[in-house]
Amino acid sequence: MHGALFAGALAAWYKYWDRTEFAKKSLDGTNEALDGLRSYLGRALAESVTPTVQRILAEQGDPDAVLEELRGDNFQNDISAFVTRDLDEMISYRTLVTERKHWSLWAQRISWGVYTLTVVEFIFLVWFGLANKVLSSPVSVRVAEFSFIISGIVFSFCILCAGVMLRCHDKISAYRDKIL
- The answer to whether residue 20 sits within a structural domain is yes
- The answer to whether residue 167 sits within a structural domain is yes
Which residues have C-beta within 8 Å of that of residue 131, sequence separation ≥ 6?
137, 138, 139
Q: What total number of domains does the chain contain?
A: 1
How far is the C-alpha of 164 from the C-alpha of 109, rounded, in Å? 11
Range of the domain at 126: 2-36+87-179
Quote the pLDDT of residue 61: 65
Q: pLDDT by residue for the chain (180 residues), tens digit each? A: 667 777 777 677 676 666 677 777 777 778 888 888 999 999 999 999 898 888 887 777 677 778 888 888 888 898 999 999 999 999 989 999 999 899 989 988 988 898 898 888 888 888 877 777 777 777 778 888 888 899 899 999 989 999 999 999 888 888 877 776
- The answer to whether residue 63 sits within a structural domain is no
How far is the C-alpha of 124 from the C-alpha of 143, rounded, in Å? 10
Quote the pLDDT of residue 173: 86
- The answer to whether residue 68 sits within a structural domain is no
List, as own/partner pairs, every contact residues 87-92 make where C-beta atoms lie below 8 angstroms and the sequence separation is at least 24, other chains included.
89/37, 89/40, 89/41, 89/44, 90/41, 92/37, 92/175, 92/178, 92/179
- The answer to whether residue 71 sits within a structural domain is no
- The answer to whether residue 54 sits within a structural domain is no
- The answer to whether residue 158 sits within a structural domain is yes
Quote the pLDDT of residue 16: 66
Which residues have C-beta within 8 Å of that of residue 126, sequence separation ≥ 6?
none
- The answer to whether residue 70 sits within a structural domain is no
